Amino acid sequence: MSRKAFIAGNWKMNMTAESGKKLIKELAPLVKDANCDVALCVPAILIPEMIKAAEGTNIKIGAENVHWAKSGAYTGEISADMLKEYGVEYVIIGHSERRQYFGETDETVNKRTLAALDAKLTPIVCIGELLEERENGSTENVLSRQLTEGLKGVDDISKVVIAYEPVWAIGTGRTATDEQAQETIAFIRRKIGELFCPECAKKVIIQYGGSMNAGNCKGLMAQPDIDGGLIGGASLKLDFATIVNYDK
Ligand code: PGA
């Protein structure tokens, strides 16, 4: 089963309209012959400008979060339809920073995922264990819970992208080894097979995220179960193009 690789950037709360446009202009010619799908998930306020900047390129623009309600009294939130109106195709859901700082739970991840799918946005659902959980041997339990609860009620799992991001590797420069990432992502695929069906699990794109960079992307991408990357720090610079071109 061949899965098309997918490299996505996560700008987090970085960049401005000016620096974002400049980066997209510089990246576009460098990534135009990519063999993988390419996206940049950007702060909501930058979406309209970044969609314009990426017009006519193979860079898709994504969001970093979405609310589950269609509309209503949710001050400060953004709905899936608002994102769709501008041509957004992807949305990151349940990033560990949202779980850690903004009260995101498996239940809210689930609600956001279902709302994204309903609006025909592709959710990039983030899961991952804390350092303490890796060290006390509960990684698989944590990931099982995040998958079971976060993906409840999903009809077609092939429409969901999973990003496995060990929390201890995010922004720390401490990447999981190729073997650790492969072993854990293979576990995630088996678990998706149990929750949905083994054949469906073979179709799901599973990214690795956490200090992935121009130097370590080839080794990670060579692993059979790793289908892409969710890139934080390295997506703020031209290194992102090197990662996108990992196979060249
Ligand atoms: P990082 O972030 O690449 O800076 O570690 C990854 C992420 O948080 O998605």
Residue type, 14: N
One of 95, 104, 129, 133 is an active-site residue; which one? Answer: 95
pLDDT tens digits for 175-195?
Answer: 899 999 999 999 999 999 999
Please say if 165 is a catalytic residue.
Answer: yes
Q: What is the pLDDT, as a whole number, of residue 246?
A: 98
Quote the ligand 1 centre to 72 CA distance (angstroms): 32
Q: Tell which one of 41, 124, 212, 237 to mutate to probe ligand 1, the residue whose CB is within 8 A of the most ligand atoms.
A: 212
Pocket-forming residues, ligand 1, beta carbon under 6 Å? 10, 165, 170-171, 209-212, 230-234
Which residue is closest in CA terms to ligand 1's atom 2? 232
Residue 173, pLDDT score: 85
The pLDDT assigned to 2 comes to 82
| pLDDT tier at 1, thresholds 50, 70, 90 | low
pLDDT at 213 over 60: yes
pTM, two decimal places = 0.98
Parallel, antiparallel, or unpaired for β 90-93 and 122-127? parallel
Q: What mean pLDDT do residues 75-94 have?
A: 98
Q: Where are the alpha helices (DSSP H) in 124-238?
A: 131-135, 139-150, 178-195, 198-203, 217-221
- Reported as a pLDDT band with limits 50, 70 and 90, residue 29 is very high
What CA–CA distance (Å, rounded) separates 246 from 192? 27
> Does residue 95 carry a catalytic annotation?
yes
Compute the distance between CA of residue 237 and CA of residue 24 in angstroms, rounded to an integer: 10
Distance CA 1, CA 24 (A): 32
Residue to mutate, 104, 211, 216, 237, ligand 1, most ligand atoms under 8 Å from C-beta: 211
